[in-house]
Amino acid sequence: MNSVEGLLTQIQGLSSTASDVLSLQNVLKQADESLHAESTRLLPFLDQLDPSKHSLGYLYFLEACTAGPVTTESASSFVLIIARFISSCVAEQIRLAPDKFISVCKRFKDQVLLLEEPLRGVAPMLTAVRKLQSSTEHLTTLHPEFLLLCLLAKCYKTGLSILEEDIFEVDQPRDLYLYCYYGSVVTAPMSTINAIAVEAYKKYILVSLIHHGQLSTSLPKYASGVAQRNLKSLCLVHFNSRTNDVEGFSYIELANSYNNGKIADLETYVQANMEKFGSDNNLGLVKQVVSSIYKRNIQRLTQTYLTLSLQDIANTVQLNSPKEAEMHVLQMIQDGEIYATINQKDGMVRFLEDPELYKTCEMIEHIDLSIQRLMTLSKKLTVMDELISCDPLYLGKAGRERQRFDFDDFDSVPQRFNI
């Protein structure tokens, strides 16, 4: 290879047009091994490159610079350099070396975590996701990294912006599992059970209790057969990593205690298994489950009574005082979880029906948008179904397995592809 200085000159001269950048890509691939060998002296050369013009060359230099161990002291400077590069680089150039870009962004995430400043990584990582994506329907390897930073930085709404997008294209299955795990998506396609799915199911149990006040023992029909058969049984026991023992501890038992509505029983169970919940990193969610049982018991009262005093609510739900009951009821009214009015004079609560008549302009617009989204999804699924029906691998597998099952077990295949 030519000297680093010579390579620098080529980067500066071959970054103007698309054809020049393709030529530069071949040069950089040949020089990659030598760049890593010179990694300790490459950092000053970055000042001679403009990341907004020489994005591909800058990426190769930056990836080589960050390949080695990074100390806390050097992490601060690298975080600034990488954040600046992500912000100003040209998407078309970095997509020519996606593995390099992903490596740099993952190291960026590691460095902000080393500095214990995950918030610094949220905005740059979101920009990196957008630049790596071919479309908003594309799930990249950086999606899980971004969601992890959002969780650690408590930027939940920022992460939601990504989760609200429909995904139809996935680079690697592991990326999808981590995306679902960090994003609290209930299920994902799988051919075998994995640890990510088991941990996600545990959180699904806890979040269902918090949000819905109950746990459905059956997964949605679209969940894979492997998940349907195995996830529940795997959450019936706890593996102690210190003793390598399987212990009789169950998230399902927690859900059963919750469904009984007896706060004392639930608190006793949580207290007895607090260390195990902590080892699963779920203790915070479990504490929210305990808090939510008060709301669930208040919701139960709305199914029986039209009016009830705050004192009676406090006694029935096992709250300490009418004032505490009032605060719970007010918060539930504000969150739209119940419909009620409180008479401050006599301390009476009147429970009401849902006032939504589903005929306002806002509601009609909301329904229309939902219908449009479903129509778009239906068209995409039809196209995907046609592509799969023509796929040689699918047709070959269907042909081999057809002999093992009745014909009715399979969806029909277009006649021109009879097998």
What pLDDT was estimated at residue 63? Answer: 95
Q: What is the DSSP letter of 137?
A: T
Cα 261 from Cα 259, distance rounded (Å):
5
Task: Write b or e for each residue in 208-233: b if 16 or more Cβ atoms lie within 10 A of its Cβ, otherwise e.
Answer: bbbeebebeeebeeebbeebeebbbe
Q: Are 133 and 169 in contact, with CB atoms under 8 Å apart?
A: no
What pLDDT was estimated at residue 318? Answer: 86
Q: What is the DSSP letter of 407?
A: G
- Write out the DSSP string of 180-200: HHHTT-S----SS--HHHHHH
What 3-state DSSP class applies to 302?
helix
What pLDDT was estimated at residue 417? Answer: 40
Contacts 24+ apart (CB under 8 A), 235-243: 235/198, 235/201, 235/202, 235/205, 238/276, 238/280, 240/276, 240/279, 241/279
Q: Which of 355, 363, 301 is nearest to 328 (CA)?
A: 301
**Dihedral-angle region of residue 358 (phi above 0 means left; psi in -120 to 50 means alpha; beta otherwise):** left
* Cα pseudo-dihedral 367, 369, 372, 376, rounded to 10: -130
What pLDDT was estimated at residue 191? Answer: 66
What pLDDT was estimated at residue 415? Answer: 43
Q: Which of 163, 218, 231, 203 is nearest to 288 (CA)?
A: 203
Cα–Cα distances in angstroms (integers) from residue 227 to residues 34, 224, 324, in the given order: 47, 5, 41
What pLDDT was estimated at residue 96? Answer: 95
**Tokens representing 164?**
């609200």
**Tokens representing 340?**
């009620």
Q: Are 273 and 286 in contact, with CB atoms under 8 Å apart?
A: no
- Write out the DSSP string of 305-348: -SEEEHHHHHHHHT-S-HHHHHHHHHHHHHTTS--EEEETTTTE
What pLDDT was estimated at residue 133? Answer: 94
* Neighbour-count burial of 129, counting CB atoms closer than 10 A to its CB (0-12 exposed, 13-18 middle, 19+ buried): buried
What 3-state DSSP class applies to 170?
strand
Find the helix or strand (DSSP H, E) in which 15 lies: none
What pLDDT was estimated at residue 397? Answer: 76
Q: CB under 8 Å to 400, separation ≥6 — which residues? A: none
Residue type, 156: Y
- Write out the DSSP string of 234-287: HTSSEEETTTTEEE---HHHHHHHHHHT-HHHHHHHHHHTHHHHHHTT-HHHHH
What pLDDT was estimated at residue 246? Answer: 45
Strand partners, 192: none
Residue type, 26: N
pLDDT, mean of each 10-residue run, the chain (419 residues): 81 91 93 89 92 95 90 90 96 95 96 95 96 92 94 88 86 84 64 76 87 77 74 65 54 87 88 87 90 90 91 90 92 90 91 83 89 90 87 79 53 44
